[in-house]
Amino acid sequence: MTIHREGYTSIAIGTIIFIVLNVISFYFLSPELPLLGWVVFVVTLFLLLFLISFFRVPNRKLTISNGQIIAPADGKVVVIEEAVDDEYFKTKRLQVSIFMSPANVHVNRCPLSGQVVYNQYHKGKFLVAWHPKSSTENERHSVVIKNGNVEVLVKQIAGALAKRIVNYLEVGEEVEQNEEMGFIKFGSRVDLLLPVGTKVNVQLNQAVQGGVTVIATL
């Protein structure tokens, strides 16, 4: 396991806060209230470890499979339905949505190989990520990857806690399946918009792993 580069600053700040709080606790609380001093230490250590775990990148054997769509993120499948896309396709698409809790790995990966033909950031609200309108009203970043005649839209969506979406791709860039496409900080969701009729290999409420689970077969 490694730590993602997006976490270096947050972890450094968290470590400084942990040290400062516990130094203050040691000098001002521990002499008179040793139990409270231990509570402060345990709670702040738990929060620091949770922060570090949020930016973890586990070692995995990634799934490489041409003709299949691989999960772009860890989480739980919360939507499998047909929906009209008003942003890019302007037609009905098959939507598969993955909700990421703060405990999930938050690296986002390209679900297929191909060329980036669309890349657009949208300002928006911060509704909870499982809200039906979060796909169209929340802060989000949309990318379309084209492989042959197939185009897939991947939408990184901020949640109630997520305040920063990072996307590394550029229009015209050739990407490989499971290559890192971005990162969303602190709870979020990723939508896949696939061609109607695509065979879906997952079910609602199924837990999936980014870069590993096969979402659909084209």
Q: Which residue has the higher pLDDT, 64 or 30?
A: 64
Active site residues: 188
Per-residue pLDDT of 145-162, as tens digits, reads 999 999 999 999 986 565
Residue 214: closest CA among 116, 33, 68, 108: 68
Judgement on whether residues 117 and 179 belong to the same structural domain of the protein: yes
Predicted pLDDT of residue 46: 95
Predicted pLDDT of residue 32: 78
Judgement on whether residues 77 and 148 belong to the same structural domain of the protein: yes
Q: Is the pLDDT of residue 136 over 70?
A: no
Q: Is the pLDDT of residue 64 over 90?
A: yes
Judgement on whether residues 183 and 84 belong to the same structural domain of the protein: yes
Average pLDDT over residues 31-46: 87
Judgement on whether residues 36 and 138 belong to the same structural domain of the protein: no
Average pLDDT over residues 187-195: 91
Average pLDDT over residues 58-83: 94
Predicted pLDDT of residue 184: 87
| Residues 164 and 119 sit within 8 Å (Cβ to Cβ) | no
Q: Measured between alpha carbons, how far is residue 216 from residues 65, 71, 87, 146, 198 in Å?
A: 11, 9, 22, 16, 7
Asked if the structure places residue 63 within a domain, the reply is no
| Domains identified in the chain, total number | 2
Per-residue pLDDT of 77-121, as tens digits, reads 999 999 999 999 999 999 999 999 888 988 999 999 999 999 999
Judgement on whether residues 82 and 38 belong to the same structural domain of the protein: no
Q: Is the pLDDT of residue 126 over 60?
A: no
Q: Which of 14-18, 84-88, 187-191 has the lowest mean pLDDT?
A: 187-191
CATH number at residue 195: 2.70.70
Half-sphere exposure of 143 (CA within 13 A, CB side): 29
| Residues 109 and 179 sit within 8 Å (Cβ to Cβ) | yes
Asked if the structure places residue 62 within a domain, the reply is no
Predicted pLDDT of residue 187: 67
Average pLDDT of the chain? Answer: 89
Q: Is the pLDDT of residue 134 over 60?
A: no
Judgement on whether residues 34 and 82 belong to the same structural domain of the protein: no
CA distance 68 to 111: 8
Predicted pLDDT of residue 133: 54
Predicted pLDDT of residue 132: 54
